[in-house]
Amino acid sequence: MIKVKRILKSLRHIKNRRGQSLVELALILPIIVLLLFGTVEFGRVFHSYINITSAVREGARLGAVGRTDIEIEDRIRESVTLANADTQLSILKIYPVESARTPGIPVEIEIQYDLPLVTPLLGDILPNPVPLKASATMRHE
């Protein structure tokens, strides 16, 4: 009889712990999900930044070897492998203008890409879309 009471008492104790675990999970789960989605969004932003930086370097290299502004813009747009790059990529500056490029003068190119965030909660906290800028300068040969 005494053993049965002990067993029943221990079962009630275990039953109460299940509820406690559920409450702890409900309190911690939103924080974990926010950290997970924040990490994914940071990875997307970093990948996009590296991608546009590489594209602007290719454009600057073309400018350095004497190509036209249209060829530079086409190469930059071909090099960017991001979604919606056609509408959200803007070439801000190609300096100096094509007619003023002489050997020894640096060619500077700057582009901007507006990256839309996909996580709804982070889109409310951070600026949406995230403006990314990249520039490169190379000496005209």
Residue positions counted in the chain: 141
Question: Please, which pLDDT band fits residue 120 given cuts at 50, 70 and 90?
Answer: confident
Is it the case that residue 129 has pLDDT exceeding 70?
A: yes
CA distances to 46, 50, 95, 125 from 43, in Å:
5, 11, 31, 17
CA distances to 25, 81, 86, 105 from 59, in Å:
51, 15, 16, 16
The token pair at 59 is 């454009």
Query: Can you tell me the mean pLDDT for 71-99?
Result: 87
Domain boundaries, given as residue ranges, for the chain? 42-139
**Using CA atoms, how far apart are residues 43 and 46, in angstroms rounded to an integer?**
5
Higher pLDDT, 60 or 10: 60
Q: Which residues contact 59 (CB under 8 A, 6 or more apart)?
A: 72, 73, 75, 76, 79, 94, 109, 111, 136
Q: Looking at residue 48, what is its pLDDT?
A: 94
Reported in sequence order, the residue ranges of 15-105 that DSSP labels E, i.e. its strands, are 89-95
Is it the case that residue 13 has pLDDT exceeding 80?
A: no
Any idea which residue has 């640096």 for tokens? 106
**Using CA atoms, how far apart are residues 40 and 44, in angstroms rounded to an integer?**
6
Share of the chain above pLDDT 70, in %: 89
Q: For 58-67, what is each residue's pLDDT tens digit?
A: 999 999 998 9
Residue 67 three-state SS: coil
Q: For 101-114, what is each residue's pLDDT tens digit?
A: 888 899 999 999 99
Q: Looking at residue 17, what is its pLDDT?
A: 63
